[in-house]
Structure 1
Amino acid sequence: MGRPPDPARRERTLARATDYVLGHGLVGLSLRPLAAALGTSPRMLLYDFGSKQELVAAVLAEARRRGAARLAENLPPQATSPEGHLRGIWAWFSEPERAGYVRLMFEVHADGLVHPENYPNQAEAITGWFNALNTTFRDIATGPDDTVAPTLVMAVIRGLLFDLTTTGDRRRTDHALDRFCELLWH
């Protein structure tokens, strides 16, 4: 009989694998180099996660969990204003320290267009923001079930992040966010 699974080891491995993917991305991810970087073996990765696909799914879920927790910890109180909340979201996501999260988000979106079977929960990750954003931006929403307002906010943030990531033009993208806020609230 084989050794029983060790949940603590799996969690440690997941944390380190998530750090690795945030630093290196998913493109060309191979179990052998990943295992070497983590000080384990490909066999142990498969033992703990079942397959490379399940490992990647766990890493993406952990990255989303970390990102959401850190965003919640670092945003100004929601009571300030919806505009302040939007500016806080932009400030947090656009910081250079978040580059790994932003690159991973775009990498998953792009790969998901070609290989949607690899990311069965991708739509849930996007729609999961609707309730939080709808509550925050109720002054631009048309009702409690409005998904257009949060979709618009997410599209602008994603577009500006893509622009910032590819061009590095912080001044222009910050000004574009300022203009978006003006259009919504002034």
Structure 2
Amino acid sequence: MSQPAPHPVKRDAEGTRRRILAAATDQFTTHGLAGARIDAIARAANTNERMLYYYYGSKEGLYVAVLEGMYVDDTHREERLDLTECAPSDAIRLLAHTIWTHVRENPGWLCLINNENLHEGRYVKSSSKFRETISPIVEMLRTALARGVATGEFRQDVDALDFYVTLAGMGYYIVSSRFTLDAFLGRNYMEQPAQESITAMHLDMLLGYLRLPSGPGVAS
């Protein structure tokens, strides 16, 4: 008696893509674009090199997909913040803490950013998704700043994009330069006391810039 033909195994295309992206993220984070190896990515993803080229076209295409995924994940994480329920100053604090905590807890994210800067932003520029991902966060911040202006708490002349870059840059520098800062200055900003101290200073600087000037000698 003949046996019934086995049902064909349905390929898990989405699962394969996720495994490839996860493996590629690890390779690009550790070795950069130049040092990452397609064969190592394929092995780690439990697939073959042909599938990598099928889904992403090239090593560079896979690298761009990793960068896009990183920025999209960041945007989704920040978009989940509900800044509308916070007082304007608290909204700034919440956004800053969220961004700075993410940077501290994800040093691999910094490795990818640093690597792309070595390429002068060439691959970020090749994708239209990057500008789309940053816009919602800047709009959230712009709304929070506008509420602060309306309540008389914040000054009116603050550029939301410049402020966002400044805020993000504070957290970025401390983590990206953590080893050299420790070596040169003898202070490890990843340790809790130093981390809390500089976080408080950064928040005071940001909010001090936003608040309306007051006191003797200040024109009304």
Which category of TM-score, normalised to the shorter sequence, fits these structures?
0.7 to 0.9
Q: Is the CA contact 2:42–2:48 (under 8 Å) kept in the aligned structure 1?
A: yes
Is the counterpart of residue 43 in structure 1 residue 69 in structure 2?
A: no
Is the counterpart of residue 105 in structure 1 residue 113 in structure 2?
A: yes
Q: TM-score, normalised by structure 2?
A: 0.63
State how far apart, in whole Å, the 1-side matches of 2:22 and 2:49 are: 14
Name the counterpart of 1:89: 95
Name the counterpart of 2:75: 68
Name the counterpart of 1:130: 138
State how far apart, in whole Å, the 2-side matches of 1:153 and 1:68 are: 17
The residue type paired with residue 93 of structure 1 is I
Where do 5+ consecutive residues of structure 1 fail to align?
none
- Alpha-carbon distance change, 43 to 119 in structure 1, aligned in 2, over 3 angstroms: farther
Is the counterpart of residue 80 in structure 1 residue 80 in structure 2?
A: no
1:17-61 CA distance string (max 9 Å, x none): 465268536352221222222222222211121111221222222
- Alpha-carbon distance change, 22 to 52 in structure 1, aligned in 2, over 3 angstroms: closer
- Bigger mean CA offset, 124-133 vs 76-85: 124-133
Q: Report the number of matched residues.
A: 177
The residue type paired with residue 211 of structure 2 is W
Name the counterpart of 2:152: none
Once superposed, which parts of structure 1, at least 4 consecutive aligned residues long, lie more than 6 Å away?
none
Q: How far apart are residue 126 of structure 1 and its match?
A: 4.7
State how far apart, in whole Å, the 2-side matches of 1:147 and 1:127 are: 19
State how far apart, in whole Å, the 2-side matches of 1:18 and 1:47 are: 15
Name the counterpart of 2:174: 164
Q: TM-score, normalised by structure 1?
A: 0.72
1:177 to 186, 203, 217: 203
Q: Is the CA contact 2:32–2:115 (under 8 Å) kept in the aligned structure 1?
A: yes
Q: Is the CA contact 2:167–2:206 (under 8 Å) kept in the aligned structure 1?
A: no
Is the counterpart of residue 20 in structure 1 residue 26 in structure 2?
A: yes
**Identity within the alignment, %:** 20
Q: CA RMSD in A?
A: 3.5
State how far apart, in whole Å, the 1-side matches of 2:38 and 2:30 are: 13
State how far apart, in whole Å, the 2-side matches of 1:117 and 1:36 are: 25
State how far apart, in whole Å, the 2-side matches of 1:25 and 1:78 are: 41
Q: Is the CA contact 2:70–2:109 (under 8 Å) kept in the aligned structure 1?
A: yes
Q: How far apart are residue 140 of structure 1 and its match?
A: 6.8
Where do 5+ consecutive residues of structure 2 fail to align?
1-10, 150-155, 179-187, 190-194, 213-220
2:14 to 8, 11, 20: 8
- Alpha-carbon distance change, 148 to 184 in structure 1, aligned in 2, over 3 angstroms: closer
